[in-house]
A and B are shown apart, each in its own frame.
Chain A
Amino acid sequence: MSAVTFDKVSRHFGAVRAVDGVDLDIAEGEFFAMLGPSGSGKTTCLRLIAGFERPTAGDIRIFGEPVADLPPYKRQVNTVFQDYALFPHLNVIDNVAYGLMIAGQGRKLRHNAADEALEMVRLGGFGARRPSELSGGQRQRVALARALVNKPRVLLLDEPLGALDLKLREQMQEELKTLQRQLGITFVFVTHDQGEALSMADRVAVFNDGRIIQVGAPEDIYFRPEVPFVADFVGSSNVLPAALVARLTGENCPAAIRPERLQLAEYGPIMARVTGLSFLGLTTRVSFETEGARLTALLPQDAPRPLQGDLVALNWAEGDLHLMRPKS
């Protein structure tokens, strides 16, 4: 069964089309990521599911039930907010137990449940503290516990890892994935970080300008982008213009090739001038210029390195060049 369906959903703010005719189908138990640059409509979509926004047009269903007229407090979804939105006047345990308190559960019962939820996010014993006494990562876990304690059917996460430092992010990514698998709840996750979306999600929807550009498994999005925007935004693939592709393959459409798949060679279909080199640790990033395109290659550390200004030949293995034929 579908957890969330969008049928031609739009949300306009005056002349701004924040969400513009989006069709979406999120399966039950799925870890679904909405990926896109800021202002692409992904957060508005999340807010439409939560009920903070109402669609200008179109139909939203949660587990088959139309929710257009359902206020947030009647929806079986819970949200982890970007700024966590913990209540500063309540301590951690009362923050987590808030939803249960509203639902009319007794003090003892709801505190037990909140304690369990805090254990689950490895914050047992923090119940008496104030949110202001916690670190960013701990607040994030409290926000997670506060949402999960209500046993939502869909959990919405709005850039939940955005404010954390790199190491904590990676750790939380693992934990979120584990939690999602344990609980079997549908997770809908908004992020602008392609690495995060690819590593965590079962499926990714790439947003741009209020529309969904491509939906698919991380591998599809990464290796088989359908349009240049996806190729460029998801992992900064090289996009070869149609004219160049026409000369190389005879097909008149743009194509994408991953930076790590470009190789320096004795002979190759493309000659390019080296315009920059940067050392990244594991690899070296080399920028080229050729026939009206800028290309990037990631060379392994043991590969021979060109010099700035060199004219080199570029080659790739059969099948690494991904043609983005226009959809008929």
Chain B
Amino acid sequence: MMAARSESIGTRLSDTLWRRPAVLLFLLLLPPVLWLGIIYLGSLFALLLQSFFSIDHFTGQINYRFTLSTYAELLTPANFDIILRTVTMAACCTLASAVIAFPIAYYAARYARGKWRAVFYLGIMMPLWSSYLVKIYAWKLILAKEGILTWALEGMRLNWLLEAYLSLPVVGGNSLSVSTTGTFIVFVYVWMPFMILPIQAALERVPGSMLEASGDLGARPAQTFRHVLLPLALPGIVAGSIFTFSLTLGDYIIPQIIGTSRLFIGQAVYQHQGIAGNIPLAAAFAVVPIVIMGFYLWGAKRIGAFDAL
């Protein structure tokens, strides 16, 4: 009793929290739960709500009656085209990112040690430190008609190759900087770290003996990749692809600066809520990536992508 009186308030508080861990947990969780619940999920819910309203095309006023007509609007050829284009782009970027990221991540996880490991992390992370806009404009200069790429190809007398490629439908254009290919290249570049790091983390948990065991049991390297390495890396690939896929679905700056004038979902959302004032349609467009990601995760779980977790 005497000892308790001489203790400071801080000590007494610590003692109380030690005796009641539930109170401590409650205090620790309260701020993030409030943030997540009200500001984050709350605003998301408000957005979803908007998508069930509609706009009066004559007055431009929002009609606050529940309807699915805005969603029906998404299915008109012009709008559906945007969705299709964005999803295709996201899928291509994800695939390309995975293919390029895997060897890099494999090297980093299996071979890079000490100094080279630091160089690797610096190389992966450094692009993330510089401004996103600066990087995109830099790419515009690289890919432009008078840009360094054209110059370099001319120097190697290979510009006919570029011209031939640019004359192709869909992927081609006047120059790389105003082609779908340009958009694709920049997307893949900008999201690459988000693919490399999860794959590397997954590969780092695969002990070397497991790959040796596969070879020991008669598997050629390609079979070891197919039956051991890929399944074990799959959670990392899926985690990375969640980033690259959803970031591509939502981005509206890259296709604005580099690419054709054809819209992506992010640009459509931007235009409908800003310039056109069509909040319901913007909201409906914004729901599309959420639904697609939902299906994506469900599919990934079905094929057992998370089994090795």
Q: Which A residues lie at the B interface, using CB under 8 A?
A: 50-52, 71-73, 77-79, 81-83, 85, 87-89, 98-99, 101-103, 146-147, 150
Contacts and interface: CB of A to CB of B under 8 A. Distances in A.
A238 to B, nearest CB: 39
Interface stretch (B64-72, B142-150, B218-226, B277-285): B218-226
A73 B215 contact: yes
Nearest to A47: B212
A73 B223 CA distance: 11
Given A87-B228, A89-B232, A89-B307, A102 B217 contact: yes
Contacts of B308: 88-89
A99 B232 contact: no
Contacts of A73: 215-220
A134 to B, nearest CB: 16
A78 to B, nearest CB: 6
A328 B216 CA distance: 42
Interface string B190-221: 00000000000000000101101111111110
Q: Name the 8 nearest CB pairs between A and B, nearest first.
A: A99-B217, A85-B213, A85-B209, A72-B215, A89-B308, A102-B218, A89-B231, A102-B219
B218 A85 contact: no
Contacts of B215: 51-52, 71-73
B262 interface: no
24 contacts: A51-B215, A52-B212, A71-B215, A73-B216, A73-B218, A73-B220, A78-B216, A79-B216, A81-B213, A82-B209, A83-B207, A85-B209, A85-B210, A85-B212, A87-B214, A88-B232, A88-B308, A89-B308, A98-B214, A98-B217, A98-B227, A99-B218, A101-B227, A150-B217
Contacts of B223: 102
A72 B223 CA distance: 13
A87 B216 contact: no
Contact of B207 (A51, A52, A85, A103): A85
Contacts of A147: 216-217
Contacts of A99: 217-218
Contacts, number: 65
Interface string B269-309: 00000000000000000000000000000000000100110
B151 to A, nearest CB: 45
B124 to A, nearest CB: 27
A51 B30 CA distance: 57
A87 B220 contact: no
A79 B218 contact: no
B216 A102 contact: no
A81 B232 contact: no
Nearest to A81: B209
Contacts of B207: 83, 85
A50 B214 contact: no
B211 to A, nearest CB: 9
Contacts of B210: 85, 87
A81 B213 CA distance: 8
Interface in B78-124: none
Contacts of A102: 214, 217-219, 223, 227
Given A89-B232, A89-B307, A102-B223, A83 B217 contact: no
Contact of B217 (A52, A71, A78): A78
Contacts of A101: 227
B216 A50 contact: yes
Among A50, A73, A82, A99, chain B packs the most CB atoms within 10 A around the CB of A73
Nearest to B235: A89
B187 to A, nearest CB: 31
A85 B232 CA distance: 13
Interface in B36-68: none
Contacts of B307: 89
Contacts of B216: 50-52, 72-73, 77-79, 147
Nearest to B228: A87
A102 B231 CA distance: 16
B223 to A, nearest CB: 6
A119 to B, nearest CB: 20
A98 B215 CA distance: 11
A133 to B, nearest CB: 14
A51 B216 CA distance: 8
Contacts of A83: 207, 209
B219 A81 contact: no
A73 B228 CA distance: 15
A314 to B, nearest CB: 48
Contacts of B231: 89
A81 B212 contact: yes
Contacts of A79: 212-213, 216
Contact of A103 (B209, B213, B214, B218): B218
A85 B223 CA distance: 17
Contacts of A150: 217-218
B193 to A, nearest CB: 26
Contacts of B220: 73
A146 B227 CA distance: 16
Nearest to B219: A102
Contacts of A98: 214, 217, 219, 227
Given A78-B217, A85-B210, 8 more contacts: A51-B216, A72-B215, A85-B207, A85-B209, A85-B213, A89-B308, A98-B219, A147-B217
A71 B218 CA distance: 9
Among A52, A77, A85, chain B packs the most CB atoms within 10 A around the CB of A85
A207 to B, nearest CB: 21
Nearest to A88: B308
B280 to A, nearest CB: 45
A50 to B, nearest CB: 6
A25 to B, nearest CB: 23
